Amino acid sequence: MPSNMNKATFAGGCFWCMEESFERVEGVIEVISGYSGGATENPTYKDVTYGNTGHFEVIEIIYDSEKVNYEKLLNIFWTNIDPFDEIGQFCDKGYSYRSVAFYSIDIEKKLIQKSIKKLEKKFNKKIVTYIRKFDKFYKAEDYHQNYYKENFINYLMYKNGCGRVKTLKKIWD
């Protein structure tokens, strides 16, 4: 990758919704749905959702650091999750749907920690989002990639039915 290209990895429940949120950001080149955080090699959706792989549904963001930085991506991440839900995100519950901010270098870890302190002070509540060192990313099955574009009506029904938009407005507005 060119030196101005970087990657960021976040888990915020349904990767379809997270993918949509980040693809609109100037400087984001690509957003890929996948799995990370666990020990199982090459997990499938079924393995991650119904098994005990230790993985989360994540997105890998490839971005141009000359146009957008990790801190801005981190801020977008926060406003697209419920950082107070310790059992999942919105209607998706279970370990694989927990929120996670992954870091690859120490400065990213410090930015995550700093933002958590700031949010805890703002809301006077404990943030339960995990902070994890990034290890490996496994791309999700093709039918998950760009799901919100390829299956727009089904996606909107899911997103609205899950209460994602309503919950995010309640937290962040």
**Cα 42 to Cα 75, 100, 153, 162, distances in angstroms:** 30, 20, 30, 28
Report the catalytic residues. 14
> pLDDT of the chain along its 173 residues, tens only?
788 999 999 999 999 999 999 999 999 999 999 999 999 999 999 999 999 999 999 999 999 999 999 999 999 999 999 999 999 999 999 999 999 999 999 999 999 999 999 999 999 999 999 999 999 999 999 999 999 999 999 999 999 999 999 999 999 99
Report how far residue 145's alpha carbon sits from residue 141's, in angstroms, rounded to the nearest whole number: 7
